[in-house]
Amino acid sequence: MPEVLERVAPNRVVQNTPAEHAPATLPEPKAERHPLGPLKVVHAFWLSGMSCDGCSISVLGATDPTVESLINGRVAGMPRVDLHHCVLSVDVGEDFIHSYLLAERGELGAPYVVIYEGSIADERIAAATGGYFSAMGTEKLGKDENGDEINRPIPTAEWLARLAPGAAAVIAIGTCATWGGIPAAAGNPTGSMSLMDFLGRDYRSVFGLPIINIPGCSPVGDNFTETVAMVLLFLQGIAPLPEFDDLGRPAWLFNDTVHQRCVRAGFYEEGTFAKEYGDKECLVEIGCWGPVVQCNITSRGAINHMGGCMNTGGICIGCTMPGFPDTFSPFYKKPPGTILSSNASRAYGSVIRRLRRITQEFGNQEVRWNWKGETPSGWGDHAKPTFLRRGIHYFYEAWQQSGSTPPGRKGDDSKFWGAKRPDAAKPVYKGRVTSFRGDEDKNK
Ligand code: SF4
């Protein structure tokens, strides 16, 4: 074993591969087991690598379910979650690390899941100069010649290698942990990589689960807590394993693109586009990548079903995707594909949009207003449909009602007015729906 690797993970199985960023440690294979409920407690060991802690912040804002309800066991059918988080836990120092050591030794007395936030740096690079990138806790290596203790910081990557083989599930949260993210962007000096790259494609938890990936920078907190809840119900043995896609993403959250659920998609379809930030229309021509990015931010919102990139005027920069950030840079520049797609929408939308405005105009007409020839609104002059538009709408409505019975009243309809019909012998527009059957008879 090379000395550098020994210093990172002296007791670990090391696989030497020619790959530049080969993982320093690999999990030992474990036999698959099936879920065995009921479970009272499941421990959650949170580890942070090359991270800004944004994932922790977003999870704390989750509402369905909340972190508090998971911790307090208030979600029906679910075990209580005992969260071990270096910022949120009350225990500190050796007391805090103690549970991690128990889990590694298999002495915890309850199943556990591992959650990793941030990408995993290649600790061999830091170890070459006697340092480390991300560490939590220390272990004693012995004493130096002066009798002083030598302590070694334990890289979080090593904690992952120690705990993953015995975990009920391993969850990567955030784009750094799921795909590598910003720390793994082209030119990164740390050799940063994702959990999948670190543990390898053959990794399986003791319950037979590959790594679960909840991407996003930062991810939607509810995407995480909801997935945790569903996995725990599976581990309880009272729900099926939820559907994950071929990259380990919760399929029901990440199958659709941002664009398919975007609040601005109607503008795109009608070919109207924002020219600058603050405009209400589709943002594709000022740099939005939503049409190709798998994310539910527009339908889920950022926190408590509120906010979220396009909902609040921001473009999609592809932060949930494995190619982020390199594939989607430079940010705030029109994606090349828009030359074809948005111009096609513009051509098609300019026609469709005008036709829809005609139908919308008649949708804004009430039957009584037609007969009276005026709209009783004190807010302004409600424009009357032009002759051409009335003609177009006549045929549209005839087509709409073909094969069905149009609404309306047969016979003398004066009783429906409560008294004599208002003096407006001529309707402004006398179409099939907006006229009365009795009047058709009278007008004969
Ligand atoms: Fe699609 Fe982006 Fe436009 Fe929304 S703003 S409709 S995601 S291109």
Which residue among 261, 268, 333 has the greatest number of ligand 1 atoms within 8 angstroms of its CB, and so is best to mutate? 268
State yes or no: pLDDT of 327 exceeds 70.
Answer: yes
Q: Quick check: helix, strand or coil at residue 197?
A: helix
Nearest CA to ligand 1 atom 3: 282
With both helix axes pointing from N to C terminus, report the angle between 93-105 and 156-163 in degrees, rounded to the nearest 10.
30
The pLDDT, as a whole number, for residue 318 is 97
DSSP-derived secondary structure letter, 83: E
User: How far apart are the C-alpha atoms of 13 and 28, rounded to whole Å?
Assistant: 8
Q: Is the pLDDT confidence value at 283 over 80?
A: yes
Q: What percent of the chain has pLDDT over 70?
A: 84
- Give ∠ CA 250-256-261 in degrees, rounded to 5: 125
Contact 245, 219 (CB under 8 A): no
Q: State the average pLDDT over residues 313-341.
A: 95
Q: What is the mean pLDDT of residues 194-221?
A: 95
pLDDT tens, residue by residue, 406-437: 777 666 655 556 555 555 445 555 555 444 43
| pLDDT at site 374 | 81
The pLDDT value recorded for residue 237 is 85
- Which pLDDT value is given to residue 229? 94
Which residue owns the Cα nearest ligand 1 atom 1? 259
| Residue 199 pLDDT | 96
SS3 percent helix, strand, coil of the chain, rounded to 5, is: 35, 10, 50
Ligand 1 center to residue 349 CA distance, Å?
Answer: 15
Cα(346) to ligand 1 centroid in Å equals 14
What is the residue extent of each domain of the chain? 4-250, 256-363, 364-443
In order, the DSSP letters of 320-380 are TSTTTTGGGPSTTS--TTHHHHHHHHHHHHHHHHHHHHHHHHHHT--HHHHHHTS---TTS
Say if residue 79's pLDDT is above 50. Answer: yes
Average pLDDT value for residue range 152-162: 95
Peptide bond into 165 cis (omega under 30): no
Binning pLDDT at 50, 70 and 90, where does residue 118 land? very high
307-319 burial: b if 16+ Cβ within 10 Å, else e: ebbbbeeebbbbb
pLDDT the model gives residue 371: 74
pLDDT tens across 259-274, in order? Answer: 999 999 999 999 999 9
- The two three-digit tokens of residue 83, written as one number: 């969260």
Spell out which residues line ligand 1, taking CB within 6 angstroms: 258-259, 262, 264-265, 268, 282-284, 288, 290-291, 310, 316
What pLDDT sits at residue 196?
A: 97
Q: What is 256-363's CATH number, 3.20.20.100, 1.10.287.180, 3.60.15.10, 4.10.480.10? A: 4.10.480.10
pLDDT > 90 fraction of the chain, expressed in percent and rounded: 69
| The pLDDT of residue 27 | 54
- The residue whose CB lies within 8 Å of the most ligand 1 atoms, and thus the one to mutate among 276, 310, 341, is 310
**Atom 8, ligand 1: which residue's CA is nearest?**
284
- Give the class (CATH, top level) of 4-250: alpha beta
Residue 314 CA, ligand 1 centroid: distance in Å? 10
pLDDT in tens, 9-36: 444 333 333 344 444 555 555 555 556 6
The tens digit of pLDDT for each residue in 363-414 reads 998 887 877 778 888 998 887 788 899 899 899 999 999 998 877 766 665 5
Least confident of 71-80, 238-247, 400-409: 400-409
Contact (CB, 8 A) for 21 and 85: no
